[in-house]
């Protein structure tokens, strides 16, 4: 699928919000964004609506769109939802994963381990988690999980940016090994522990 200008704007703005480059309360001005991307207001509006749908922006009457504030209570809810939903997806993914899927997962794991900074690690970590779940073949469930990943990413950047260090993620390797053995129980146990510790 070819990326549209709205996709590009959404990807750039969402990453800036997630990393804190666009702080909470910052006004998202359509005219400024349209100029920055050399486009009309139509794709900008589409991108802003997507940001709002993912909880990254909020529309205020007569004041336009602003970056949402981080809610500390939200991360507890996000963790509980991820711990409930990701093992559900993984259980199905373990049974359906093809050798090609396992190769994609291993590649995502290695790329994540090689990240040299928090922003690249977070994006690659998200890609690894998406890769292990994609074979489940449940698009509605994956869509909900994608939203939870975005919410998690913002909190990870806020709370771990100064403490992040490059490392090999043993949990990621253990999940992949369990998937290769078709051991859904172990893969899901490791994932639950991993999510609670990381988040």
- Using alpha carbons only, give the angle 38, 43, 44 rounded to the nearest 5 degrees: 75
Same domain, 101 and 19: no
CATH number at residue 58: 1.10.10.10
Across 154-162, average pLDDT: 79
Same domain, 80 and 49: no
Q: How far apart are CA 49 and CA 135, in angstroms?
A: 29
CB 91 within 8 A of CB 184: yes
Q: Is the pLDDT of residue 90 over 80?
A: yes
Specify which residues 59 forms β-bridges with: 65
Q: Is the pLDDT of residue 1 over 60?
A: no
Same domain, 61 and 79: no
CATH number at residue 97: 1.20.120.530
Residue span of the structural domain in which 16 resides: 5-67
pLDDT at position 95: 96
3-state secondary structure of 53: helix
Give 162's pLDDT tier (boundaries 50, 70, 90). Answer: confident
- pLDDT above 70: percentage of residues in the chain: 98
Q: How far apart are CA 138 and CA 47, in angstroms?
A: 25
Q: Is the pLDDT of residue 154 over 90?
A: no
pLDDT digits (tens, 9 = 90+) for 14-55: 999 988 899 989 999 999 999 999 999 999 999 999 999 988
pLDDT digits (tens, 9 = 90+) for 48-84: 999 999 889 999 888 889 999 888 788 888 999 999 9
The neighbour count for residue 198, using CB atoms within 10 Å, is 15
Q: What is the pTM of this model?
A: 0.84
Same domain, 22 and 109: no
Query: Each residue of 44-68: b (16+ CB within 10 Å) or e?
Result: bbbbbebbeebbbbbeeeeeebbbb
Both tokens of residue 53? 């749908």
Question: For the chain, how are helix, strand and coil distributed in percent, rounded to 5?
Answer: 70, 5, 25
**Sheet harboring 27-28: ordered strands across?**
27-28, 64-67, 57-60
Same domain, 165 and 149: yes
Same domain, 77 and 29: no
Same domain, 87 and 171: yes
pLDDT digits (tens, 9 = 90+) for 127-149: 999 999 999 999 999 999 999 99
pLDDT at position 22: 92
Same domain, 79 and 52: no
Number of H-type helices and E-type strands within the chain: 9, 3
């Amino acid at each position: 699928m070819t990326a549209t200008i709205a996709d590009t704007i959404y990807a750039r703005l969402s990453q800036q919000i997630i990393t804190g480059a666009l702080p909470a309360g910052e006004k998202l001005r359509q005219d400024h964004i349209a100029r920055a991307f050399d486009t009309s207001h139509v794709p900008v509006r589409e991108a802003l609506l997507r940001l709002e749908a993912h909880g990254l922006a909020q529309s205020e009457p007569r004041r336009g769109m602003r970056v949402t504030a981080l809610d500390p209570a939200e991360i507890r809810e996000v963790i509980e939802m991820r711990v409930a939903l990701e093992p559900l997806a993984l259980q199905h993914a373990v049974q359906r994963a093809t050798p090609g899927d396992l190769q994609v997962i291993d590649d995502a794991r290695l790329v994540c381990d090689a990240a040299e900074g928090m922003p690249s690690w977070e994006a690659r970590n998200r890609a690894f988690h998406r890769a292990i779940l994609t074979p489940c073949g449940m698009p509605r469930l994956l869509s909900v999980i994608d939203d939870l990943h975005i919410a998690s990413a913002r909190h990870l950047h806020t709370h771990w940016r100064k403490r992040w260090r490059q490392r090999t993620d043993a949990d990621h390797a253990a999940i992949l090994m369990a998937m290769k053995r078709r051991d859904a129980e172990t893969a899901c146990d490791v994932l639950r522990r991993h999510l609670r510790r990381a988040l």
